[in-house]
């Protein structure tokens, strides 16, 4: 008979195993018991209970055995890539650690909404996740688990989980970029650098050097296939993946270039994106491969990578307004610009003489502009393009994020650029984030260029005021619909609305009994042309196109067929989409304590035939900028 095991019971009991059944069960071989206990309907609580039944079953459920390995893989399948198949692990210990980390992460994410509800951007407050000291892949897995849960629920939890994941992935990518830049220049691949830029600007996308390299290898194989038809004995056909070689014969190089152009532009239809040149997607290498279009520099990185893999040593040229590649026509490296053919990857691989390049930009340039540049200089040009796109943006969160990301990258590559350091300090100051970091940046600027003391002094003074203000935050105004001054407010937070004039769909996340904007804004938006002017309720709304607007009551009406609003800030204010409306989170309900009841009444009146899932959930709100408030 099996010896009873006096271990601690964990998480309660789901089932009772009779003594007679235990006798029969424990007589089975260990391998068969493991097989039974790995049945998919049993969860970790069941295994804990079984292991407490007797010593025999406890031994079968030991930490390094198949039973806990199965439970771990069942619960967290994404983590399997971090474990070697032939290694032995204490799976019970791994399970407990991962479970504990998950609880800590969720508690931390849930607390962020309450603490940062009124801030536009959270800044480095996410660094507290690192202070948990938990394995990084456990933290990321829990955050991904939150993001992949029920689409319409836990919106606030997902909102902050996404921001935390974004922040932590960027920190890792930045560390990888610094390691990359410390390598000798000859070991810095333009493709790897472009992938790091892509990853930093798209940290939530599945972009890896391995996947990008695999796609480029597929194109290389197509070029080889084309080359084989033209010259079956071509030396490049004998090269294996990863080989580093240079074709000495210029005719062989010419054959590679011809095959590359035929495959890339004729067969695969790659082309320069002239119609949407300033779209940031043109600069991301994974998007260039998916969309088969880009700008001169991104297409040049692709073209140069393919050519080098096939033995043609093309070099990047930082030509003004139109990035180019150069191809030496001599056996030896030359300093004479006329010894090179210049390739326009944006122009379907067109080959140009030195002076023909000037036709691309319609003015003459000096010989320096025809020189080859390093990988770090190429990355500065690439990031500079993104930076300019961010500066051209509409002042919404998306353009601010691009501006922040590109500044981070630029200053990682070139940390002493005073112009961009000052731009970064001004941006952080404008957004009201990282005041302590702003002071560090300003101190660095002052050390690099004392002539900037005027601009630095102004920002230092106002940043110190901001820090002082944060230490004594002003309490948010609570707005109750029952107050006499609010009797004209017809609509409430969470309602899906339609703008009568502009036609956009939106959700209300705040309101004022009268317009509170400046007189300048009122004049600019021609509010006086409205029948009730500024003397009517105005609503803060999140619009389907990603903007935040301030709309007059007379211009809004409940949507006839409510739909989800795909706005990045929805989770800041709402915890759930409930078929006909959004449910305000705890923080928004605190500010508008009587609104959810009003929302439910409106839903009943307008959507009686639709299913309305009522519920209450807590979550956070966002502020708006004056330049975002359009269409009164």
Name the average pLDDT for the chain: 88
Are 538 and 516 in contact by the 8 Å Cβ rule? The answer is yes
Answer whether residue 366 shows pLDDT above 70.
Answer: yes
The confidence band for 19, taking pLDDT boundaries of 50, 70 and 90, is low
What is the structure's pLDDT at 126? 66
Query: Is residue 10's pLDDT more than 90?
Result: no
Q: Which pLDDT score, from 0 to 100, does residue 610 have?
A: 54
> How many CB atoms are closer than 10 A to CB 213?
19
DSSP bridge pairs for 316: 325
pLDDT above 90 coverage of the chain, percent: 71
User: Residues 384-388: what's their mean pLDDT?
Assistant: 95
Per-residue pLDDT band for 190 (boundaries 50, 70, 90) equals very high
Q: 313: closest CA among 297, 327, 301?
A: 327
User: For residue range 146-175, what is the model confidence (pLDDT) as tens digits?
Assistant: 999 887 889 999 999 998 899 889 999 999
Q: pLDDT tens-digit profile of 293-343?
A: 999 999 999 999 999 999 999 999 999 999 999 999 987 778 899 999 999
Phi, psi of 605 (to 5 degrees): -70, -40
Rg (CA), the chain: 31
pLDDT score at 123: 52
More confident site: 523 or 127: 523
Is the pLDDT assigned to residue 504 strictly greater than 90?
yes
**Of 204-208, 455-459, 495-499, which range is least confident?**
455-459
233 three-state secondary structure: coil
- Enumerate the β-bridge partners of residue 552: 538
How many whole angstroms from its chain centre is CA 318? Answer: 29
With beta carbons less than 8 A apart as the criterion, state whether 584 and 595 touch. yes
Higher pLDDT, 13 or 542: 542
């Amino acid at each position: 008979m099996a010896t009873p095991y006096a271990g601690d019971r964990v998480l309660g009991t789901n089932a009772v195993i009779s003594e007679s059944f235990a006798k029969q069960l424990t007589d089975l071989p260990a391998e068969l018991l493991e097989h039974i206990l790995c049945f998919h309907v049993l969860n970790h609580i069941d295994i804990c209970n079984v292991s407490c039944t007797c010593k025999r079953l406890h031994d079968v459920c030991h930490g390094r055995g198949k039973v806990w390995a199965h439970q771990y893989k069942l619960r967290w399948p994404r983590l399997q890539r971090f474990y070697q198949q032939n290694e032995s692990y204490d799976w019970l210990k791994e399970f407990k650690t991962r479970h504990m980390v998950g609880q800590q992460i969720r508690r931390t994410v849930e607390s962020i909404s309450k603490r940062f509800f009124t801030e536009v951007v959270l800044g480095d407050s996410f660094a507290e996740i690192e202070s948990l000291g938990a394995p990084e892949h456990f933290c990321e897995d829990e955050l991904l688990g939150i993001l992949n849960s029920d689409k319409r629920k836990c919106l606030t939890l997902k909102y902050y989980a996404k921001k935390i994941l974004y922040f932590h992935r960027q920190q890792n990518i930045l560390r990888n970029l610094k390691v990359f830049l410390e390598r000798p220049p000859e070991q810095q691949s333009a493709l790897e650098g472009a992938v790091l830029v892509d990853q930093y600007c798209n940290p939530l996308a599945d972009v890896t050097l391995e996947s990008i390299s695999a796609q480029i290898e597929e194109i290389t194989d197509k070029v080889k296939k084309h080359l084989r038809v033209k010259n079956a004995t071509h030396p490049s056909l004998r090269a294996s993946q990863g080989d580093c070689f240079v074709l000495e014969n210029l005719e062989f190089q010419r054959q590679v270039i011809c095959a590359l152009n035929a495959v890339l532009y004729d067969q695969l239809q790659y082309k320069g994106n002239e119609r949407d040149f300033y779209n940031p997607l043109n600069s991301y290498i994974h998007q260039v491969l998916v969309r088969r279009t880009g700008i001169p520099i991104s297409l040049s990185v692709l073209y140069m990578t393919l050519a080098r893999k096939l033995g043609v040593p093309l070099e990047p040229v930082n030509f003004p307004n139109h990035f180019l590649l150069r191809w030496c026509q001599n056996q030896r490296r030359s300093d004479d610009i006329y010894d090179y053919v210049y390739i326009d990857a944006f122009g379907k691989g067109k080959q140009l003489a030195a002076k023909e390049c000037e036709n691309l930009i319609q003015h003459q340039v000096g010989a320096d502009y025809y020189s080859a540049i390093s990988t770090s200089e190429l990355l500065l040009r690439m990031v500079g393009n993104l930076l300019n796109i961010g500066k051209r943006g509409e002042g919404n969160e998306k353009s601010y994020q691009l501006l922040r990301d590109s500044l981070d990258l630029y200053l990682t590559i070139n940390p002493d650029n005073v112009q961009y350091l000052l731009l970064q300090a001004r941006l952080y100051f404008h957004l009201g984030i990282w005041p302590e970091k702003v002071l560090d940046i300003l101190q660095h600027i002052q050390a690099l260029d004392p002539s900037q003391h005027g601009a630095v002094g102004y920002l230092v003074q106002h940043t110190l005021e901001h820090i002082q203000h944060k230490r004594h935050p002003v309490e948010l105004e609570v707005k109750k619909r029952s107050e006499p001054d609010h009797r004209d407010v017809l609509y409430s937070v969470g309602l899906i609305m339609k703008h009568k004039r502009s036609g956009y769909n939106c959700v209300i996340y705040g309101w004022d009994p009268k317009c509170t904007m400046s007189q300048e804004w009122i004049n600019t938006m021609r509010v006086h042309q409205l029948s009730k002017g500024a003397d009517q309720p105005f609503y803060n709304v999140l619009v389907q196109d990603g903007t935040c607007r301030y709309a007059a009551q007379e211009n809004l009406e409940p949507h006839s067929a409510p739909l989800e609003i795909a706005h990045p800030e929805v989770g800041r204010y709402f915890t759930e989409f409930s078929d006909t409306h959004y449910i305000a989170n705890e923080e928004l309900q605190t500010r508008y304590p009587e609104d959810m009841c009003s929302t439910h009444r409106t839903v009943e009146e307008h959507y009686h035939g639709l299913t309305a899932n009522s519920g209450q959930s807590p979550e956070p709100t966002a502020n708006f900028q004056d330049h975002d408030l359009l269409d009164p």
